[in-house]
Chains A and B, each alone.
Chain A
């Protein structure tokens, strides 16, 4: 049995009926999106999310929010009626969500305005208006997507602001108030590193996510439980269990590596901030990392309103 990679123009075999049904369900005709155009949009999504085999395409199509997908694509294409619908449904929510994320009125307004401009597509490239809405694929609800994009934009703005340090601050930080050079201290014991890495390797990704959310990000049990859709008490028990087993596995690893009980205790009590880890280099690497791509798919510039 051979698996054909779906092309961006033709629908995977046997899905024609489903696409027709979804086309009707999505009310694409209200926004002048034909059956063929709709099929092409779905096909692009299938290529993006099921590139290897077409087996999961049907399930993928069935989980798509097709009505919102059509609305977003029609807005991206400049359809006037679609924009009216979009504004009625989402404009107010957009500002509400921005307020919830930014917590401060002026910043929230700026955040929402910035995204709104991106959604509308104020920039044109090669005669085509670029709208962020064209990148929406209907995997989640449009409202949820707007929330995520707003949150992403907020994180990007925060990163940008941190990088733009004024010259005065830079000179103060760099010359006048330069911190004294710390004496070199020994690094983490490689045996501890190995034991910790081995203990982490035994965790599944969800356990690691729970640990990171709680211990690194300071999220509450309620927040984590909502993200993973399990009960708060389950997260509490899981955290306790993971932390205990992690500690136990590390201690076992250190013992195997020849450490005495006293050395193990001392190794685990070492504060990483006291060690000679090259934090500056690590930070530099992190800031070199690209911020979230503000990818804006291209959409035809023509006004399709009737």
Chain B
């Protein structure tokens, strides 16, 4: 910005401003409710009166802040955890897959894959336990039967021991159809509980590290594909949460939306002749209101808009909309410049004037 010489600033500060305007005129100026002539006179006074400029600035309401409610999540499930967890899990899976292909390409059987998938579906604690069991069993069998270990791979033994165990994992397997390789991805897609488990698994990097080579070898390529699916699913979840739309209004009352956490903003065309003053969003429900009772509602995060004209029998909402409060997707309240308060309990289909 250009610097103004001190001498010029001094001359700018001097000069007689005349009598102060009353608070009504100052308020009307702040609310853009003056005639052209009055506004011009008032601006002339303001340009010379420090006190009145201060009053206008102090009386200005705090900037409207819009909070878009994010879906609830546990405190530990945050973006850094997701990011690093996903990255480490990805590296571990790729590394394991490479070693699998190099060392034991002949041992991938559908049955093994099923075991690995069901293991992956266990809770992290169960997964730890079964992983430890696998290692212990393998070590015991190696010590007891070195010759047998030499003739058959430790992986086969380990899986054999898993298959013989009457654990929960086995119960799941026995209930499963005969072709677990084909069924496992379907069950992954269908069960939301399973998805939750997957998310937890993806973000717990320590546990991801504990996925031993034995287990991964048992999983085979199909299971690797499943894990990759889970990894990309976790990434989708984190991406979706970071892309939750944010809303704001610019100075001339145009609605703007950001899909990248506020880095860039796009104007949203709602109505060509409406100057908005307030916006409220709850999930994909967005309400925006402004001058001359203009009120619009979008149920799909701003893709489509519907004009809403609240009326209560004989009375129609007529003032400027100054506040919108949303309790949930069906309950909301609208305040107008003439201090009317309207409420809806069915997502805007019917309205009741409270004040």
Binding site for B on A (CB under 8 A): 49, 56, 59-60, 63, 65-68, 89, 100-101, 135-145, 147-152, 154-155, 188, 192-193, 196-197, 199-200, 205-206, 208-209, 211-217, 219, 222-223, 225-227, 229-232, 236, 239-240, 243-244, 246-247, 250, 267-273, 277, 282, 292-293, 295
Contact = CB atoms under 8 A, between A and B. Distances in A.
A277 B51 contact: no
A212 B7 contact: no
Interface stretch (B58-66, B107-115, B298-306): B58-66
Interface of B: 1-14, 20, 22-35, 38, 40, 43-44, 46-48, 50-51, 53-63, 250-252, 337-339, 355
B252 A136 contact: no
A148 B27 contact: yes
B312 to A, nearest CB: 14
Contacts of B34: 139
26 contacts: A65-B338, A138-B24, A139-B27, A139-B33, A144-B59, A148-B55, A150-B59, A151-B54, A155-B55, A155-B58, A188-B7, A196-B7, A211-B12, A212-B46, A216-B12, A223-B60, A225-B251, A229-B32, A229-B251, A232-B251, A243-B4, A246-B8, A247-B2, A250-B8, A270-B6, A282-B14
A223 B57 contact: yes
Closest 3 CB pairs of A and B: A140-B27, A243-B2, A151-B58
Contacts of A213: 53
Given A135-B22, A139-B24, A229-B251, A151 B55 contact: yes
Nearest to A56: B35
Contact of B46 (A209, A225, A243): A209
Contacts of B251: 225-226, 229-232
B8 to A, nearest CB: 6
A81 B50 CA distance: 40
Contacts, number: 187
Q: Tell which of B30, B35, B63 has the most Cβ of chain A within 10 Å.
A: B30
A231 B35 CA distance: 21
A200 B12 contact: yes
Contacts of A240: 1-2
B188 to A, nearest CB: 49
Given A145-B27, A152-B23, A65 B337 contact: yes
A253 B324 CA distance: 54
B23 A148 contact: yes
Contacts of A49: 38
Nearest to A142: B339
Given A59-B35, A223-B60, 17 more contacts: A63-B33, A101-B59, A137-B24, A138-B24, A140-B26, A141-B31, A144-B27, A144-B30, A188-B7, A211-B47, A212-B48, A216-B12, A219-B57, A227-B60, A229-B32, A231-B252, A243-B2
A151 B29 CA distance: 15
Contacts of B8: 196, 199, 246-247, 250, 268
Contact of B2 (A152, A232, A239): A239
Contact of B30 (A148, A193, A225): A148
A147 B59 contact: yes
A219 to B, nearest CB: 6
Given A227-B30, A229-B251, A205 B47 contact: yes
Given A101-B58, A148-B26, A231 B46 contact: no
A101 B30 CA distance: 16
Contacts of A144: 27, 30-31, 59
B264 to A, nearest CB: 16
Contact of B57 (A68, A139, A217): A217
A151 B339 contact: no
B61 A227 contact: no
Contacts of A229: 32, 251-252
B253 to A, nearest CB: 9
A238 to B, nearest CB: 11
Given A101-B58, A139-B27, A269 B50 contact: no
Contacts of A215: 4, 9, 12
A244 B11 contact: no
A164 to B, nearest CB: 18
A68 B339 contact: yes
Nearest to B10: A272
A137 B25 CA distance: 9
B53 A217 contact: yes
Contact of B24 (A66, A145, A271): A145
A271 B10 CA distance: 9
Nearest to B250: A231
Contacts of B35: 56, 59-60
Contact of A145 (B12, B23, B57, B250): B23
Contacts of A226: 60, 63, 251
Nearest to A96: B62
Contacts of A59: 35
A144 B29 CA distance: 10
A227 B14 CA distance: 22
Among B27, B46, B47, residue most surrounded by chain A Cβ atoms (within 10 Å):
B27
B40 A205 contact: yes
Contact of A243 (B1, B28, B355): B1
Contacts of B23: 135, 145, 148-149, 152
B59 A212 contact: no
B58 A154 contact: yes
B11 A89 contact: no
B30 A197 contact: no
Contacts of A292: 20, 51, 55
Contacts of B1: 214, 236, 239-240, 243
Contacts of A142: 339
A282 B15 CA distance: 11
